[in-house]
Structure 1
Amino acid sequence: MLNLLGEYQCKLDAKGRLGLPSGLRKQLGEAEKMGFVLNRDIFEACLVLYPSEEWKKISKQVAGLNRFVKKNAMFIRRFNNGATPVELDASARINMPPRLMEYAGLEKEVIVIGNGERIEIWDKAKYESFMDEDVDFASLSEEVMGGLDQDVDA
């Protein structure tokens, strides 16, 4: 199971390619060779890069939804819309599809974040604005994590 960590400042080149940070590449290990799926995030205006094995897990969950339920069909269509298989080139770069770049507002400076089993790609200014939002993180932490069993070694 992947647990990708780290925040990296990167730049897109003139052709819209993103060099995957070496810190993330080391954490990916063999998963790097299996390719990725790049997609829109569900909640924020950023992109998500899923290692292929992680995308397969999510796709299996999505495939389990009944397409004859309108909300499910709408979710499946929207979730899969834009999902694009990508691979690293010989220089460890990802060719970013223009429509996805437009969705996330990616131009030159980006922030690449290891976030568990996925990698988020943000426009630098949008990410900084998101992180500067006034959120009571202590209360949020208590609400989200406060009721969990603290025995993580079990």
Structure 2
Amino acid sequence: MSAKTIPTVLIVLLLWGGAVSCQSKPEASTEIAQSEGVVNADVNVAAFAALIDTSETGLLLDVRTDREFAMGHIRGAAQIDFYRDDFQEELAKLDPNVPVYVYCRSGNRSGQAAKMMKSMRFKTVYNLEGGIGAWAREQPIEK
């Protein structure tokens, strides 16, 4: 990510966080765990789209099955099936210093994958709340 896009992303996240904190439903809030330069966050579609649009080095990762991926995915996504026996080994091949933007069908598998990546010392992981279903209601998908 270039030096001039970092402030833009931070502003988007701060504005979004302020808007979300005014909502009455706690499940709609974003939880961002940040310590020692590590970011692990669940973000909504708007924030996720802004993050992947401004990232120059990040990896967009779909953790659904091959069949699900073929039915539609976010443009530019790489895919590693969460249910593969070697899923964790495949994650270990990725650069933990590169931001990862992860999603699945509903946010469950990708949330688990994000926790795995955090335990594997990935520095920046963003999980799409609501998964591809939420994305498809607001953004285009590719087949």
TM-score of the superposed pair, with normalisation by structure 1: 0.26
**Greater relative contact order (CA < 8 Å, ≥ 6 in sequence):** 1
Greater share of strand residues, 1 or 2? Answer: 1
User: Higher Cα Rg: structure 1 or 2?
Assistant: 1
